[in-house]
Amino acid sequence: MEVVNGKAAFLCNYEVFELLKELKDSEDKKKVAKGRNFDTLVYCALKYLRNTPCVHQSEKAVADFLTAIKEFELTEAECLQIVNLRPTTEVELQLIIEEAEDRLTTQQESRLLELVSLYLGEPEKLPEDPVKVENQ
């Protein structure tokens, strides 16, 4: 993956994750930036992104999902947030989509959540809360 024009469009977490993985694995990173700060930035970003839904996504799945949701007339930022956050409930969807009550019917919200599940995958089971386990 190569960034041709850094200001041309938004990048979803999947794209950033793939770009950072390639950058970390390539020898070109020495040419891009030298020093510990850059390596730390890449490490921390990858560590964060490994705990997000983007690790279960693919380029094709994201592209197919964006094509499938064109009928909902969402803004670019709303589409990006849906891909990044992978909402599973109507409440989460309403927090992402501005004026969702006015713009989408209940059936459309359900359909959108079905498409999220179909293209972006089911959410993984979250591990138990370690604080809760320790207190028991």
Three-state DSSP state, 130: helix
CATH number given to 57-120: 1.20.1250.40
- The pLDDT profile of the chain, 136 residues, written as one tens digit per residue, is 565 665 667 888 888 888 888 887 775 555 555 566 877 888 889 999 988 888 888 889 999 999 999 999 999 999 999 999 999 999 999 999 999 989 999 999 999 999 999 998 765 543 444 344 344 4
> Domain locations in the chain?
13-55, 57-120
Rounded to two decimals, the pTM is 0.74
